[in-house]
Amino acid sequence: MQSKIISATLCTLFYTPLLFSITFVYNLRIAETTRTRNTAFGKLKPSVAALTPLAQFRGFDTDFHQSAGGVLGNYIYATDDWYARINAAVGRVHADGPTVGEFGATEFDDLLLTGGYSWQMAEKTRISFSGHFGIPLHRDYVGDLVELGTGHVGLGLQLDGVHAFNAEQALLIAARAIYFFPRDVTLTLDGTTLHIPKFRLGNVVDFFITYQHIFDEERHLVGAGYDLTYTFGTDDPTDPSHIRTLNTTQNSLFATYRYAFPIKEHLSAIILGFSYGFLKVPAPLNHGYSATVWLTWGINF
């Protein structure tokens, strides 16, 4: 009887751990908007450093809620053809619901290393190919109601394309796939400890598209776009045979505004972004929303 109770509770709370992992470093919408290069104030220098305070809120049909707030930091070194990037973040996560109580913790996100190379395909079209390597900074807290970071090593590939219609308008497209390596996890529930060997967090596939318009001598940029995130291959913690897997879908709309200005001889910019996503997840939560707001300050040096 006790095992049935534990199984039912797990099914209700932890059915898809990728959904319960809030991550800032893997957020494609923020990553793509902070990569935009601006030549309005002269020749660009190779390094860009940026800080991004941000917050995310999730709600579901069952009145279960999650939230996270923190700071994302990144450094980019770029030439005309290739770039390398490192992302790191820390924040506070919180979750509560009518039947699950309340949980909160301060945690580090994963450390994400990215590198890529780009080619000029035509006069107004450029593509780039990137690789991602994610390093977990803590174990997978699969038993918590929410966690910052995945707790798994991630390996991924990404293809980007940009087409400039003219000097003021451009279309950006990106596709990304990330595989998270399995690892042993331990779950404690009501005093009972469960060991799940080779737990598969699953895979993530993203498709991203945005339109950008620049005006006032490239000082101002506005953008709007769509991002589809699909997760699959996640182990059901209630199935020790690892036969049954789970998946989720998130459709997000987002908008950004960037203001560029010089600080002495260095180009600087402030970016304000907001996204709203529609979640489709397994029962009992079924459907929900995800809202994210961020403010980035970056400098080129």
Residue 60 corresponds to which tokens in the numbers above? 């579901």
pLDDT, average across residues 169-181: 96
32 has pLDDT over 80: yes
pLDDT, average across residues 213-234: 92
pLDDT at 27: 95
Mean predicted lDDT score pLDDT of the chain: 87
pLDDT at 66: 95
pLDDT at 195: 81
pLDDT, average across residues 125-141: 95
pLDDT at 33: 72
**For residue 214, how many C-alpha atoms fall within 13 Å in the half-sphere facing its CB?**
17
15 has pLDDT over 50: no
Q: Where in the chain are the domains?
A: 2-300
Non-local (6+) Cβ contacts of 65 within 8 A are: 57, 58, 59, 95, 96, 97
Q: Residue 59, Cβ neighbours under 10 Å: how many?
A: 18
Question: Could you give the CA distance from residue 277 to residue 266 in angstroms, rounded to a whole number?
Answer: 35
- Superfamily, domain 2-300: monomeric porin ompg (2.40.160.40)
Non-local (6+) Cβ contacts of 99 within 8 A are: 12, 62
pLDDT at 238: 64
Q: What separation in angstroms does the CA of 153 have from each of 87, 140, 165?
A: 14, 10, 39
pLDDT, average across residues 222-244: 83
In sign, the C-alpha dihedral spanning 45, 300, 274, 202 is positive
Q: pLDDT above 90 covers what percent of the chain? A: 65
- Express each pLDDT in 43-82 by its tens digit: 678 999 999 999 999 999 989 999 999 999 999 999 989 9
Q: Which of 215, 225, 104 is nearest to 162 (CA)?
A: 225
Q: Which of 88, 171, 175 is nearest to 129 (CA)?
A: 175
- Express each pLDDT in 275-290 by its tens digit: 999 999 887 788 999 9
pLDDT at 296: 96
| pLDDT tier at 2, thresholds 50, 70, 90 | very low
